[in-house]
Structure 1
Amino acid sequence: MTSHALPVPHQSGRGNFAGTFGAVALAAYQPDESMFARQLLSIQSQTHSNFVCLISVDGDHQRVAAMVQRACGDDGRFHVLGYDDRLGFHHNFERALKAVPESARWIALSDQDDYWYPEKLATLLPELDGAALVTGQARVVPPHISEIGQDRSSGGLTDRRNVGAADLIANNQVTGSLCIFRREVLDLALPFPSLAAPSQYHDHWIGLCALACGSINIRDVVLQDYIQHGGNVVGESRQSLPTSIRNTFRFVKRYEGRISPRSVCSIIYKTGLGWRTLMARTLLERLDLAQYSTSPDLRDSLLIYASPRTWALVGLVIRGMRGGNVSPMRALEILLGTVVRRIAA
């Protein structure tokens, strides 16, 4: 592992987050050098500069370390954490977060191929005074559009929204690369729960932990480009039913080893319900131990997902879909997972 002495942070008063020291956790895996360098430079050019950037590399870390050196020079804020084994993006982010220094009051997550506008951190940090996690929106564009310059009028926009606990569990609204959160969220979130399934997302878990620590504030301000290209591990997709079915069989081969009725049912359950049940159970266990102040809405929703009662769960999902906060495809995934669980019971 490549390591360096972390810089001594400058801390302002404890009453607000503007100007405070924090950490940017970036997960890298075989990055395209031009897009990676552009993202690193956008982080380096933030108007708020009091941070350390921890880059966790999922294999081939020496190559990535050389890229960081070429892009950032001798900037002591940037540190490469190199590993030979590959864990996937969920646990690669976990490795970066485990390295966050105790003195960091906030954490921002970064993908390897986006582009942050210079004011991103400075805009979001003051919002942490009133929320455990805050996120903005992003312009969704291909690389060639993002590289044109500062014209932010073209391209589509993300549509993240503030929702209740039940809808957040069903349909994640927290995109890791858009958000920033308080230290206490990290303390609750580590270690990450783990499930061998495509539905396992670090930002979904962190979002629930943020609700337990206070609240989430999603602002309608565009603060970065969310770049979509052929190599995205996770993207801003709008899957059709046929695409979802094809992906299910692809995931069966990847996570279950072979295609059989049992393995197909296993993936359907894990994707639709299993991951959400695991998150709910894990968070309830930690909330009991840490004695967090949890809203009745969050507590009741966690209890329903932790020990799924069919009609109560169906009611939550249908209400979320009718309210426009749970997509029909996500609702279908959860309901299918519920059906498979009932058949297997």
Structure 2
Amino acid sequence: MTPRIFIIMAVFQPEPEYLAAQIQSLVAQTHTDCHLVAVIADTCSKDLVLETAMAVAPGLPLTMVSGDVALDSVRAFEAGLSEALRLIDAEGLGEDAALIALCDQDDIWHADRLERGVAALVKSGADLVHSDARLVGPDGTTVLHRSMFAFERRKKNPGLRGLLYRNNITGMTTLMRPRLVRLALPFPPQSGVHFYHDLWLGLLAAATGGVHLIDTPLVDYRQHQSNVMGAIDRTQPRGPRWKRPDAMWMRKEATAYALARYLGQSTYNRLSDAVTDGSLSHGEAKTAPLRPYLRRMRGMGTHLRDAVVLGLQGHAGLARIAAGFAVVSIGRAVWTLREAFGPGLKSAIDGFDTRLYSLSPGMSPRPPRNLTAPAKPPVKHESIVDLRKEPRFVPEFSAPHAALNILVPTLNPTEIFAGIATALDIGLGLAVRGYPVRFIATDLPMSSPGTTQLFLGRLGQGQDREATAARISLLCGVQNETLPLHSGDMFMATAWWSAHVAERLIRRHEMAQTRFLYLIQDYEPHFYAWGPEFADAMASYHFDFEPVFNTTLLRDWFSEQGFGFATGDVLAFHPSIDIERYSHVARRAAGKGPRRLALYGRPDVPRNMYATAIEALARFVSKENLGPEDIELVSIGQHHSDVALPGGHILRSLGKLPWEDYPDYLGTVDVGLSLMYSPHPSHPPLEMAAAGVRVVTNGFGPKDLSRLSPAILSVPATAPDLADALGLAWHAAPVSQSEREIDLRDLGSHPEDMIDDLANRLATQLARI
């Protein structure tokens, strides 16, 4: 039987000419039983895809998948694969009657791409086949290189563990069986894009039915400036292959090792789940190559052996990666043993003995007089002084034009939360409006500049993306001793210590712009006890700057505290929350199982008042006499230990939910508890209320979020008051749609309007490009 092939294409702001050429190449396939599933990842290209398909492929069956939220490439293919399985099941196609292929929007398939893929699947019995690709220029005809495998020096048969050193599977060359897709969905969560769908599919295929390479190009891979991932030339030496290990080198290697370990463990866990639910039989999965990533203290020997073998085979780049994994694995074991048996052990024993002797006779034995303690070296002052306030780089005034330098602690997507994301959005908005912007990481080195660039690719739709991207620079003030700046640059501080950095750079180097912008998102002195950090945070408010406040509530708090810069004419914007993303979420039908209460639980952030929230929950479930059959308690925001509460309840910690899944999950929550003991309104209470959750939060100074929606109950931040408010929320009627439509303008101007105002203010200080 000739299988029907479902072709998954992710579409994001396509070049119409490229899209038409690709769809035409699908129509020209010698395997003719095809069905195109186009995922509209940018939410707005549906008409273009439909018009193009009607023009060049009127007979090609087409299903389009679109939504209200833009998707990155991984999420787009995940949505397309889910739709393909739905179509296969709806048409009653058996496992051998349907196959699935992945397709990019701007490449060109050779006419026999699918026919040869089907033949290879049948002959090899593999679950996934992939091929080589020919690299072509933007015109689609100029051949840049005959083989992507040769161009990138890929290992043709790396095996399961080898895929975790470097992926050799390109998604748009793949053809796979539906059973592999059923096993692969859903994809493991990730913050940003750190691994691609083709690697995840390849790992599962290599561990189960196998991967087969068609060692000839079956696709023309079009190289152009808008490629999400372009081919990397590894035919020429790229600088020194070996570098003396240092802290920065270790962090970079650790980043790659962490991803490999995460995927290795995720692969093993998914296969274990499949055996448990019966979709895989015992012994069907081959997981032995994953052992170095599964063992808690071993595995470095395997990586070292791999490094030697790969080096002897002529794969020097892969050998370096394997050696780096071995070094990180060894460092992990050494660090663990040092923590377990090092100074901590002596301190623990001494501490126990001190308490023991306090029982009787009340003091510790005196040491012998002839005991001479070894001389300790003096402590370096750098280990005592807070170096975050000091620039780690020296400006090298070689930049061709002045720019706005936005100082952020980190540019690594996994370390970016709401505060840093807001600063990045402001910088991206100014770049869209024509201003050159440099993002400078001041605290942590960039682990992967490419991943950061993809994360920052959230530029507004309909804009000139290439021109905007050209105005943005990513600089690391940790790894580089000098940075290319301009004497006319302006700085934006985003935390109190970066305000000190901006102030010192301006004064030390006599910058032309003597004032800096200060993005104030909370009252930071209250993050600390009275001491150096409290004093340094307070000192930052006495520099010469122009404030930009995140909400009028925060601005009013500063004004009430007597800060003269918090006047009514300074910029203040409301939280950057897409209310419609939450207010349109479908609610779970009532009466199906216990009702769900979600806590925004972050034990490591004092102002989120985790202990108070736990006490309030204990009071609430006891007072209401609720049992596990009545209520399910979950904690979101940060992983922590599950908590046993009265009545046999267990508060289950779900940790940080994927951003894409968060709104739909809130649609299953009935009551929320989210605390923030500061003048800044945190996002979760507003997001919960917009999603139809009756949410309890606390007031603080001028902050009273209940004025924004009746779905929000704002009470004093004490356990009794919070428990009583939870009782009111529990017995209240479901949140109405009108209560979910929250108007944030009461908290300040729209972020885009604020950026417009900021751009106008910068017009006299920075030149647009």
TM range (shorter): 0.7 to 0.9
Deviation at 1:324, TM superposition (A): 4.8
Q: Which amino acid aligns with 1:48?
A: H
Q: Deviations over 1:273-319 (max 9, x none)?
A: 434443343334434543346578x3211233233524244235425
Counterpart contact for 1:142–1:228, Cα < 8 Å:
yes
Report the counterpart of residue 210 of structure 1 in structure 2: 205
Give the 5 Å matches for 1:175-324: 175-196=170-191, 198-238=193-233, 240=238, 267=255, 270-271=258-259, 273-289=261-277, 290-292=279-281, 294=283, 298-307=286-295, 309-315=298-304, 317-319=306-308, 321-322=310-311, 323-324=313-314
Q: Secondary structure at the match of 1:143?
A: coil
Structure 1 pair 194–40 and aligned structure 2 pair: CA distance change class (3 A) = same
Larger fraction in helix:
1
| Higher relative contact order (CA closer than 8 Å, sequence separation 6+) | 1
Structure 1 pair 183–189 and aligned structure 2 pair: CA distance change class (3 A) = same
Deviation at 1:327, TM superposition (A): 1.9
Q: Counterparts of 2:59 and 2:332 in 1: how far apart (Å)?
A: 52
| Equivalent of residue 156 in structure 1, options 131, 142, 146 | 146
Structure 1 length-normalised TM: 0.76
Report the counterpart of residue 123 of structure 1 in structure 2: 116
Structure 1 pair 265–198 and aligned structure 2 pair: CA distance change class (3 A) = farther
Report the counterpart of residue 77 of structure 1 in structure 2: 61
Counterpart contact for 1:127–1:134, Cα < 8 Å:
yes
Moved more, 164-173 or 223-232: 164-173
Deviation at 1:222, TM superposition (A): 1.5
Q: Counterparts of 1:183 and 1:236 in 2: how far apart (Å)?
A: 28
Gaps of 5+ in 2: 337-769
Q: Which amino acid aligns with 1:338?
A: S
Q: Deviations over 1:39-64 (max 9, x none)?
A: 11111221111121101121233xx2
Q: Secondary structure at the match of 1:196?
A: coil
Q: Secondary structure at the match of 2:19?
A: helix
Q: Secondary structure at the match of 1:237?
A: coil
Q: What RMSD over aligned residues (CA atoms) do the two structures have, in Å?
A: 3.2
Q: Counterparts of 2:331 and 2:71 in 1: how far apart (Å)?
A: 28
Q: Counterparts of 2:164 and 2:271 in 1: how far apart (Å)?
A: 12
Report the counterpart of residue 76 of structure 2 in structure 1: 92
Q: Counterparts of 2:264 and 2:47 in 1: how far apart (Å)?
A: 39
Moved more, 317-326 or 298-307: 317-326
Q: Counterparts of 2:232 and 2:320 in 1: how far apart (Å)?
A: 12
| Equivalent of residue 147 in structure 1, options 141, 144, 148 | 141
Q: Deviations over 1:120-172 (max 9, x none)?
A: 1111112111221111211012222x236xxx7x6231225123222123222
Report the counterpart of residue 163 of structure 2 in structure 1: 168
Structure 1 pair 233–338 and aligned structure 2 pair: CA distance change class (3 A) = farther
Q: Secondary structure at the match of 1:327?
A: helix
Q: Counterparts of 1:187 and 1:39 in 2: how far apart (Å)?
A: 27
Q: Counterparts of 2:253 and 2:213 in 1: how far apart (Å)?
A: 35
Structure 2 length-normalised TM: 0.36
Q: Deviations over 1:174-230 (max 9, x none)?
A: 211111011111111111112225431111111122123322110212211011211
Report the counterpart of residue 130 of structure 2 in structure 1: 135
Deviation at 1:108, TM superposition (A): 0.5
| Equivalent of residue 331 in structure 1, options 290, 306, 322 | 322
Q: Secondary structure at the match of 1:99?
A: helix
Report the counterpart of residue 114 of structure 1 in structure 2: 107
Counterpart contact for 2:184–2:204, Cα < 8 Å:
yes
Report the counterpart of residue 65 of structure 1 in structure 2: 46
Counterpart contact for 1:305–1:313, Cα < 8 Å:
no
